[in-house]
Copies of this chain bind each other. A is one copy, B any other.
Amino acid sequence: MTTQVKIDRGAGIAVWRQIAEWLKAEIAAGTYAEGARVPTEADIAGRFDVNRHTVRRAIAALTAEGILRADQGRGTFVAATAIDYPIRSRTRFSEIISGQDRTPSGRMIGSGTEPADALLSEALSVPLGTPLLRIETLRVVDGIPVLVGTSWFEQARFPGLLAAYAETGSFTKALSVCGIDDYTRKQSKVTAELVDQEDAAVLGLVSGQPVLVVESLNVDPQGTATQYTRTRMAADRLQVVIEN
């Protein structure tokens, strides 16, 4: 059942808006799936017997809303919707993504050692200046980079962690090697920033785009702080979900 739609001229609603609403409804109804190409501007213009400029205005409005994405020379596509990233006590990237029928992957893009500054020493409950292991990770969903994370660990407490993480690509497994069989997320703080140059390059964003910044603290079953992470997420590809 395709809805029969006619353009209502002189009804107080601009023609471009009526076309935009129609397209939006079609997408919501599933006629055009995520990533699918919508009809060309000329097609739509012919279907409603309006000028192509009118259709362009409608598409521009939906593009501004983030519903469509127009690629010159290729066509107009239904924009990918942001992937839900629920934050709960047990938050595991790969489980979350797999659970949404997508393919997670990731790799280490850097590591190093640095002394704990004021923020990190308080979060991890270690003295100021304690040597910390820093691991930088890139997480990818269906081949598209979605977030970069920087994690800090007390170096002396986890001797084999870096090697284990480099090999497995999983904090869960790497911590298990170090004798931490489980961990939970104690607190997360979410804020928004403009992407910096380095993250923009890694995530394939242009500068000036917003990123969601999540700073989180993980604790072991005894309640001892083990891992502090600062995650930068491409805001148009991931959204944080809080369930109550």
Q: Which residues of A contact B (CB under 8 A)?
A: 24-25, 28, 82, 84, 87-89, 117-118, 184-194, 208-212, 235, 239-244
Contact = CB atoms under 8 A, between A and B. Distances in A.
A149 B193 CA distance: 20
Given A24-B118, A25-B118, A118-B28, A82 B191 contact: yes
A242 B187 contact: yes
Given A28-B118, A210-B210, A240 B190 contact: yes
Nearest to A21: B117
Nearest to A211: B192
A241 B189 contact: yes
A87 B242 contact: yes
Contacts of A212: 190-192, 212
Contact of A187 (B184, B193, B235, B243): B243
Contacts of A191: 82, 212, 235, 239-240
Max chain B C-beta neighbours (<10 A), residue from A88, A208, A240, A244: A244
Contacts of A192: 192, 210-212, 235
Contacts of A89: 244
Contacts of A187: 241-244
15 contacts: A28-B118, A82-B191, A84-B189, A88-B244, A89-B244, A184-B244, A185-B244, A187-B243, A188-B244, A189-B241, A190-B242, A191-B239, A193-B210, A212-B212, A240-B240
Max chain B C-beta neighbours (<10 A), residue from A117, A190, A240: A190
A188 B118 contact: no
Nearest to A121: B28
Closest 7 CB pairs of A and B: A192-B192, A192-B235, A210-B210, A192-B210, A190-B240, A28-B118, A89-B244
Contacts of A28: 118
Nearest to A195: B210
Max chain B C-beta neighbours (<10 A), residue from A89, A187, A189, A210: A210
A94 to B, nearest CB: 19
A102 B208 CA distance: 32
